[in-house]
């Protein structure tokens, strides 16, 4: 009885302590992100004073400068193209493959499934150098043949590489879902005279919509944010770049000429799409995360 009384009086103190800790961590995460948003509308002279001062006004010129003179605009377009293209490619390739690998019995199925599973453990950071050399050799060969390289500094090839390296994870996730569907759906469709292709596209894919959305979300984030492959395969100084790589170059150049406003405007341009998407679908993302996967 005595002990129970004690724990009741300690309760509010403990609760308050928990709230303090939780709110502290939340502040530690929100404040730096919010700070960048505020800094993106500050004038350059404001960066030499107190860092906690609010912006004097809305200095939109930072975004205009970042978009035009720091080429963030064209980098953004490149990033949109690469991300959209690799997502489209990934879906077109991975959906049928995952469907067949999980629902048909055929020779070599077990072998392929094992290969894709093993692929989950291959990290792109290790294989980016061989991929680069392979494309470089291809370019040298093409140059001798037709006088022009094709594979390096090409955003379409970059999109193909992105889609390929995302295949194991995507097929793993989709197969897991397809395997849970009962076979009656297909049998009914075959009896009605539907072929294999139309059964897959018209009956099975619509049912897989929730997992398709999950894979689009995860892969959007990883393609949009990626910079190691992009930096390696699009290394030409004057060539096209994706947004994170362009921003990284700007950050490294910024150490000599202090153009803070443009830099923070560039940061906002990179993270705004992911933040907006996250706010719209946060529930799906934090739930989907537990079904699979290793980041980084």
Partner 1 sequence: MRRSKDRSIFIALCVAPAAILFFIFMVLPTLNVFRMSLFERGAYSPTETFVGLNNFKVLFQDAKFIASMQNTILLIVTVTLITFFFAILFAAILTREKIKGQNFFRVIFYIPNILSVVVIAGIFSAIYKPENGMLNSILSFISGRDVMILWKDQQMVIISIIIAMVWQAIGYYMVMYMASMSAVPADLYESASLDGAGRIAQFFQITLPLIWTNIRTTLTFFIISTINMAFLFVKAMVAKGMADVGLSFMYAQKDAGLYGYSMAAGVVIFLFSFLLSAMVNKVTKRDVLEM
Segment 53-92, which members bind partner 1 (CB under 8 A)?
Answer: none
Determine which residue in the list 44, 74, 154, 164 makes contact with partner 1, applying CB under 8 A.
Answer: 164
Neighbours of 14 (CB within 10 A): 10
Distance CA 169, CA 90 (A): 11
Burial degree of 63 (CB within 10 A; 0-12, 13-18, 19+): buried
Q: Which of 137, 179, 207, 213 binds partner 1 (CB under 8 A)?
A: 137
Among 25, 117, 179, 253, binds partner 1 (CB under 8 A): 25
Angle between helix axes 72-103 and 209-225 (nearest 10 degrees) is: 140
Q: Which of residues 239-268 bind partner 1 (CB under 8 A)?
A: 244-245, 247-248, 251, 263-264, 266-267
Q: Which stretch binds partner 1 (CB under 8 A): 133-141, 142-150, 176-184, 204-212?
A: 133-141
215 binds partner 1 (CB under 8 A): no
216 is an interface residue for partner 1 by CB under 8 A: no
What are the phi and psi torsion angles at 73 (to 5°)? -60, -50
Using the rule CB under 8 A, is 227 a contact of partner 1?
A: yes
205 is a contact residue toward partner 1 (CB under 8 A):
no
DSSP secondary structure of 88-139: HHHHHHHHHHHHHHHH---TTHHHHHHHHHHHTT--HHHHHHHHHHHHHHHH
Q: How many residues bind partner 1 (CB under 8 A)?
A: 90
Closest approach, Cβ 110 to partner 1, in A, equals 13
Give the helix, strand, coil percentages of the chain, each rounded to 5: 75, 0, 25
Quick check: 182 binds partner 1 (CB under 8 A)?
no
Residue 181 binds partner 1 (CB under 8 A): no
Nearer to partner 1, 96 or 176 (CB): 96
Q: Rank residues 52 and 58 by Cβ distance to partner 1 and give the closer one.
A: 52
As a whole number of angstroms, the distance between CA 226 and CA 244 comes to: 7
């Amino acid at each position: 009885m005595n002990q129970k009384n004690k724990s009741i009086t300690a309760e509010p103190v403990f609760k308050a302590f928990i709230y303090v800790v939780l709110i502290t961590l939340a502040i530690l995460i929100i404040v730096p992100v919010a700070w960048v948003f505020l800094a993106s509308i500050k004038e350059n002279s404001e960066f030499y004073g107190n860092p906690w001062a609010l912006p004097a006004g809305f200095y939109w010129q930072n975004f205009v400068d970042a978009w035009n003179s720091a080429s963030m605009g064209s980098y953004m377009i490149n990033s949109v193209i690469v991300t959209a293209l690799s997502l489209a490619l990934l879906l077109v390739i991975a959906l049928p493959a995952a469907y067949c690998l999980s629902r048909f019995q055929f020779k070599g199925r077990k072998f392929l499934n094992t290969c894709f599973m093993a692929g989950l453990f291959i990290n792109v950071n290790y294989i980016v150098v061989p991929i680069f050399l392979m494309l470089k050799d291809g370019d040298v060969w093409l140059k001798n043949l037709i006088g022009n390289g094709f594979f390096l500094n090409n955003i379409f090839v970059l999109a193909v590489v992105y889609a390929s390296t995302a295949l194991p994870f995507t097929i793993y996730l989709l197969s897991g879902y397809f395997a849970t569907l009962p076979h009656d759906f297909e049998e009914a469709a075959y009896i009605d005279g539907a072929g294999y292709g139309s059964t897959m596209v018209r009956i099975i894919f619509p049912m897989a919509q929730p997992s398709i959305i999950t894979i689009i979300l995860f892969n959007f984030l990883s393609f949009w944010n990626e910079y190691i492959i992009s930096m390696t395969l699009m290394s030409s100084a004057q060539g096209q770049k994706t947004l994170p790589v362009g921003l990284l170059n700007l950050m490294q150049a910024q150490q000599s000429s202090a153009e803070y406003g443009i830099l923070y405007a560039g940061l906002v341009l990179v993270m705004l799409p992911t933040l907006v998407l996250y706010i719209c679908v946060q529930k799906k993302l934090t739930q989907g995360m537990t079904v699979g996967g290793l980041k980084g």
